[in-house]
Amino acid sequence: MFKKVLLIFSLLIALTSCESDDERRNNPNLVDLNVDLQISLNLPQFIDLNYPGNAVYVGTQGNLGIIIVNTGNDFLAWDAADPNLLPNQNCARLEINGLNAESECEQLNVYSLATGQPISGENLIYPLYQYRVVQSGDIIQIYN
């Protein structure tokens, strides 16, 4: 009986502590666009992703494009729009600087491409907008 109660209690804690996609993606500055992108690590424009610590910008999808990064452990994909700015501002597209992404409108906003969290800037409420990534051999699929 005690084991059943402990199991139910553990499941309730696990279910209530998980962050839903809706909560994580609830950012009024960005549009939740449908993204479905496949890239090959063999193509010249993505060859740098074969090495840990490199990031590549793809401008065809997302709010202002997508930044794909090889962290060494896995691949991550972030929307290239600064999540704390409106994407219609010319300065809102993030630029890759090593394993950081930066935008500079009135101030310099810096985000970690390894975690998506803000590193520096003022009033940075939202982290980077993350997409799902699945790797199958040399093919990476990015979607939401």
Q: Could you report the per-residue pLDDT of 12-68, keeping only the tens digit for each?
A: 444 434 444 454 468 999 998 999 999 999 999 999 999 999 999 999 999 999 999
58: tokens are 């793809």
Note whether residue 126 is domain-resident: yes
**Confidence at residue 106, expressed as pLDDT on a 0 to 100 scale:** 85
Q: Could you report the per-residue pLDDT of 86-120, keeping only the tens digit for each?
A: 888 889 999 999 999 999 988 999 999 999 999 99
Share of the chain above pLDDT 90, in %: 73
Note whether residue 32 is domain-resident: no
Note whether residue 25 is domain-resident: no
Q: How many domains would you assign to the chain?
A: 1
**Confidence at residue 30, expressed as pLDDT on a 0 to 100 scale:** 93
Note whether residue 58 is domain-resident: yes
Provide φ and ψ at 117, rounded to 5°.
-85, 150
Note whether residue 28 is domain-resident: no
The gap between the terminal CA atoms of the chain, to the nearest Å, is 41
CATH code where residue 112 lies = 2.102.10.10
pTM: 0.82
- Structural domain span for residue 137: 37-143
